[in-house]
Amino acid sequence: MGKLHREILVCYDVECDKRRSKLFEALKDIGLRPIQKSVFWGDATRAEMKAIQREFKRLLDPHMDRAVVVDVHLRDSAARDAFGYSGADFPPMVDHHVL
């Protein structure tokens, strides 16, 4: 059985301020956390990954903008491999159960 969530990093370079702001808000609404100006981190389900891809297609200009989603393990390595971050910056995933 596969994992229900993936720990991801979303990085983007968006020329237009309006599109960049909309993407920032969309990624926050999906539940990701901004960790730098154009970098988000968090856990995403398969449905949330599809939502991120939809937002990329809806908001980004394929001729001017760039974005990437990368699987990461920052919870495991932040204290060891990061500068200016600690493990507290990458809290454990909170699993929500449906009753």
Mind listing the pLDDT tens digit for each residue in 30-68?
999 999 999 999 999 999 999 999 999 999 999 999 999
Q: Delimit the domains of the chain by residue range.
A: 6-85
Task: Return the C-alpha torsion angle 73, 97, 94, 37, nearest 10.
Answer: 80
Mean confidence (pLDDT) of the chain: 88
For residues 39 and 92, which has the higher predicted lDDT (pLDDT)? 39
Cα 6 to Cα 25: distance, rounded to the nearest angstrom = 20
The Cα-based distances of 1 to 4, 5, 43 in angstroms read 9, 12, 18
pLDDT for 79 equals 63
Query: What pLDDT is recorded for position 1?
Result: 42
Does 82 or 24 have the greater pLDDT score?
24
What values do phi and psi take at 7, rounded to 5? Answer: -85, 120
Looking at domain 6-85, its CATH architecture is: 2-Layer Sandwich (3.30)
